[in-house]
Amino acid sequence: MRRPELLLPAGNLEKLRTAVLYGADAVYAGVAGLSLRAASAEMSPDDLAAGIACAHTSGVRVYAALNTFARDRDLENARRVLPCVVAAGVDAFIVSDPGLIRLIRNLAPQIPLHLSTQANTTNAEAVRFWRDQGVERIILARELNLAEVEAIARAVPDVELEIFIHGAMCMAYSGRCYLSAWRNGRSANAGDCTQPCRWEYILHESTRPDEPLLLTEDERYSYLLSSKDLCLLPHLPRVLETGVAAVKVEGRMKSSYYTAAVARIYRQALDALVAEGADYVCRPEWMEELQKVSHRGYTTGFAFAQEKINETSPRIKSLQTHEPAGVVLEYHSDSRQLRIDVRNLLRAGDDVELLLPRDVVPVDTRPMTGEQGEVLERAHAGNRIFLAFDRPVPRGALLRKKILSP
Ligand code: SF4
């Protein structure tokens, strides 16, 4: 069975290193000023270069996302930044704008081009068109079902196809939406969506503004516009059957903890599927793990849909049972302690686990000590603390804290 490339988001250098540590085959990263993501999810050319060096050491590929629809003024920036990105050793560019495609083709014809899902490729003729323009991989539109994906893969076997298998879904057609720009002046088409489709809405009749007309999804609000998150973990055998070359996780703006938690599960599942073939079963504990990260309920999205439909979530609040607690900075083998960069309020006695690529291990939070050896009852985000642990773990490993029962 062909094992597709597992592609993880890398919103910054730390997330890139996390994705590499937890099993990505490849990562995708925005480049400052050129991606379809907000600045918070972009990397400077220097960070990207450091990330590429780190990833290549582990045999992981790095794709630079330049999937904005560029105005003429953006092309100047592209001409300035592209040579640095090429020099850093990027493995491919993810693009959607034909102008940028032409620019990259002229500047760096040796670097493969991947066509972004923003280009909305939905049929085999469109795939052939982009192939003829020199594009090597197409990230198909999220709105296709798996039968359509498979048909395209069979019709155009010489082009690599990639699909999303996990992450947030948009209620608009592949992000072509002005809701955020209209409500907040922050445009989804410039990568700065504030996700107002996830907000709670109440219907008012104009003559009775104080008497909201409650809709029925729950006792307080309607979340008619809020999509559940995509999760195809239980359907990986069908996903691989389609013949796609790569499967992708959405979420460059999500935390390192999210990256780690999702990467390790899909890594384990894909490895098991390839090794076990027809005997493969999706382990219940994998889905349990995915319930522990922030999500809005899971859906298969369009994967099995005959019509273009989407599922909304009746819950506006994110569902999660754990939150990030900290990141391992180093292991002190002499004192058998982990030195940790705290990411959320941590109290001595909190229920904390260390997330390893193949394992989840409880960590005792008593005693918790500070940099000077003082015993702490609590630590805050940004503090550096020490916790006892009996064996070395890699730098960058994530700790999480239980916040409620599943
Ligand atoms: S507001 Fe919602 S539907 Fe619109 S682009 Fe943002 S996530 Fe998508």
pLDDT tens string 223-250 = 667 788 999 999 999 999 999 999 999 9
Most informative mutation of 197, 200, 312, 313 for ligand 1 (most atoms within 8 A of CB): 197
> What's the pLDDT score for residue 170?
82
Q: Are residues 96 and 25 in the same domain?
A: yes
- Residue 42, in any domain of the structure: yes
- Residue 219, in any domain of the structure: no
CB 344 within 8 A of CB 325: yes
Q: Are residues 202 and 259 in the same domain?
A: no
- Residue 40, in any domain of the structure: yes
Q: Are residues 181 and 162 in the same domain?
A: no
Last residue of a domain, one of 152, 187, 213: 213
- Residue 236, in any domain of the structure: yes
CATH number at residue 391: 2.40.30.10
Would you say residue 49 has pLDDT above 70?
Answer: yes
CB 326 within 8 A of CB 385: yes
Q: Are residues 80 and 142 in the same domain?
A: yes
- Residue 372, in any domain of the structure: yes
Question: How many other C-beta atoms are found inside a 10 Å radius of the C-beta of residue 331?
Answer: 17
User: pLDDT-based confidence at 220, cuts 50/70/90?
Assistant: very low
- Residue 371, in any domain of the structure: yes
Would you say residue 186 has pLDDT above 70?
Answer: yes
Most informative mutation of 117, 193, 194 for ligand 1 (most atoms within 8 A of CB): 193
Residues 6+ apart with CB under 8 A from 157: 243
Mean confidence (pLDDT) of the chain: 88
**Digit-coded pLDDT (tens) for 248-291:** 999 888 899 999 999 999 999 999 999 999 999 999 999 999 99
- Taking the CA of residue 168 as reference, the ligand 1 atom at the shortest distance is 7
> What's the pLDDT score for residue 177?
81
Total domains present in the chain: 3
Q: Are residues 79 and 60 in the same domain?
A: yes
* Ligand 1 centre distance from Cα of residue 171 (Å): 6
Query: In the structure encoding, which two tokens stand for residue 339, read together?
Result: 């030195």
Q: Are residues 184 and 289 in the same domain?
A: no
Q: Are residues 125 and 188 in the same domain?
A: no
Residue range of the domain that includes 104 = 5-169+227-299
**Bigger pLDDT: 83 vs 70:** 83
Q: Are residues 177 and 247 in the same domain?
A: no
The beta strand positions in 193-318, using DSSP E, are 203-205, 208-213, 229-231, 246-249, 298-299
Last residue of a domain, one of 265, 299, 333: 299
Record the pTM. Answer: 0.89
- Residue 121, in any domain of the structure: yes
- Taking the CA of residue 197 as reference, the ligand 1 atom at the shortest distance is 2
Q: Are residues 13 and 151 in the same domain?
A: yes
- Residue 310, in any domain of the structure: no
Q: Are residues 283 and 342 in the same domain?
A: no
